[in-house]
Amino acid sequence: MPNTTHLPRVTAEDVRRFADTVEIRDARAFAAELQAFVYERVKAAKLHPPMEAETTTQALARKAVALRASKRWAPTETDIQRGRVVLLTTFNQPQNLPLAEFAKLANKSRQQIYKDIVARRLLSLNVGPRGQKLPDWQLDPVKQQLTQTILQKVEGIDPWTIYRALSEPLEGLGGRSPVDAVTPGSINDVAETVFNVLSVQVH
């Protein structure tokens, strides 16, 4: 049997490129299906060199159609409530600081912090009338510069999506989150990784 273990693994981040073509409800499951399909094609190519009429592009399209939901998914009331609980849990984590506390630690006035948020120099989270909180990583100049670089280029993407893209581990960064991986000399490279996660092309 042909050896396919040398092929790179398809990740959940990889399948985001299909987001404009097909609705993906489970990125991990889609990645697993796509991985199996790629192995299948490689094995077939080695065992039966190009005799098949179906091209890889056609096969991928067929696979995508097969994975497409027959009816567009809409969240139920339970889904919405569960999602709100997740947001509140994250919002209340100790690393997310109330605006007044963040301003004090940053040695700035509240008014200046508000201005920085409006100017997209700082990332701010909010859940309804509970006020704003700011991730404490922005007290670090390098991490704040990474955050600002992202904010300046992704207008229109909601703060929670940006927060997750910056704070969740990525395989491309050795299992570290962008804010944990960034260094003074790698801001642009790490930012590019975040743009890829957000499916944003920056020229």
Could you list the pLDDT tens digit for every one of the 203 residues in the chain?
Answer: 445 556 677 676 766 666 666 666 666 777 777 777 777 776 666 665 554 556 667 766 666 666 665 665 455 656 555 656 677 888 889 999 999 999 999 999 999 999 999 999 999 998 877 789 999 999 999 999 999 999 999 988 999 999 999 999 999 899 999 999 999 999 999 999 999 999 888 76
71 SS3 class: coil
CB 115 within 8 A of CB 75: no
Distance CA 49, CA 122 (A): 54
141 SS3 class: helix
Distance CA 6, CA 3 (A): 7
Whose CA is closest to 38, among 13, 15, 70?
A: 15
